[in-house]
Amino acid sequence: VFLQLLGTIGDSKTIAIVLCLAEKLLDKGYTLWMDNFYNDPELAKFLKERKTDCVGTSRLNRKTVPNEIKKQKFSKGELCVMHSDHVTITKWCDKRVVSMISTYHKLEMVPCKTKQNEEILKPLCVVEYNNNMGGVDMRDQLLQSYLMEQKRGTKWYIKVFKRLLNVTVLNCYVIWKVSNPNSEHLHFRLTLVKELLERFQVGVPRKTSGRPST
């Protein structure tokens, strides 16, 4: 059903994924939190029309993002906000530029403490996004250096298996770190591989050089 609507809200496959997964949640007042891979102004507008709010980071290179937002350059602490059809686009500069799309928030700044215990003002949409999606972003950051599933030419179901395996290893590390707070991610993975090889490796006959004996 929703695939037929793509002509009116864009032809992106990522939009189709969101609509198909959220089909049973529409028209019930839910709020969807998503990262910049899926979020889009046209998608946000459509979801709002179906009584579903949408909050998430955004990629500025999307065609539906206004040029005024794309071209605006900021210094640290500056921001630009545009609002149309219940969709608010916020571009804010902290250590780096953060862009957000939300149908749940307007422009509202809230005080926050930095790691250096300094008080700064942040857009509420950024603060609440971090509270709701912080775990997902942290997972992606921890997996970024170990993306075994990105090898080209691999069948899609092999990639899915490798991704699930990779996330399982990460979950094991998170549990291990509770009782071993000084443990490093790389050391954990190397130790895991070493112990698995020691336990399950089958002896492989070595190749011999020279002519075979008769």
Residue at 48 is within a domain: yes
- Specify whether 21 is located in the same domain as 54: yes
Task: Over range 146-171, report the average pLDDT.
Answer: 84
> Residues of the chain with pLDDT > 70: what percent?
86
Q: Is the pLDDT confidence value at 5 over 60?
A: no
- Specify whether 107 is located in the same domain as 156: no
Q: Is the pLDDT confidence value at 206 over 70?
A: no
Token pair belonging to 182? 């000084």
Q: Is the Cβ–Cβ distance between 60 and 70 less than 8 Å?
A: yes
pLDDT digit string (tens) for 83-122?
Answer: 888 999 999 888 888 889 999 998 889 988 887 888 888 9
Burial of 89 (0-12, 13-18, 19+ CB in 10 A): buried
Q: Is the pLDDT confidence value at 8 over 60?
A: no
- Separation CA 137–CA 131 (nearest Å): 11
pLDDT value at residue 7: 44
Task: Over range 30-56, report the average pLDDT.
Answer: 90
pLDDT digit string (tens) for 54-91?
Answer: 998 888 888 778 888 887 787 888 888 888 889 999 99
Helix or strand (DSSP H, E) at 151 = none
Indicate the residue type of 124: L
> Residues of the chain with pLDDT > 90: what percent?
25
What is the domain extent for residue 72? 2-124
Q: From 107, 144, 142, 136, select the one nearest 34 (Cα to Cα).
A: 136
- Separation CA 191–CA 143 (nearest Å): 17
Q: Is the pLDDT confidence value at 46 over 80?
A: yes
Q: Among the three residues 73, 89, 124, which one is the final residue of a domain in this structure? A: 124
Q: Among the three residues 66, 89, 124, which one is the final residue of a domain in this structure? A: 124
Q: Is the pLDDT confidence value at 10 over 70?
A: no
Indicate the residue type of 71: K
pLDDT value at residue 2: 41
Residue at 139 is within a domain: no
- Specify whether 163 is located in the same domain as 79: no
Number of domains present in the structure of the chain: 2
- Specify whether 116 is located in the same domain as 153: no
- Specify whether 176 is located in the same domain as 90: no
Comparing 201 with 169, the larger pLDDT belongs to 169
- Specify whether 25 is located in the same domain as 105: yes
Q: Among the three residues 61, 92, 124, which one is the final residue of a domain in this structure? A: 124
Q: From 110, 80, 81, 101, select the one nearest 31 (Cα to Cα).
A: 101
- Separation CA 213–CA 195 (nearest Å): 37
- Specify whether 6 is located in the same domain as 109: yes
Q: How does residue 4 score in pLDDT terms, banded at 50, 70 and 90? A: very low
Helix or strand (DSSP H, E) at 180 = none
- Separation CA 69–CA 125 (nearest Å): 17
pLDDT value at residue 212: 57
pLDDT digit string (tens) for 16-33?
Answer: 888 888 889 999 999 999
Task: Over range 157-180, report the average pLDDT.
Answer: 90
pLDDT value at residue 61: 81
Residue at 141 is within a domain: no
- Separation CA 96–CA 92 (nearest Å): 8
Listed in order, strand segments (DSSP E) in 41-118 are 53-57, 79-84, 87-93, 97-102, 109-113
Q: Is the pLDDT confidence value at 157 over 90?
A: no
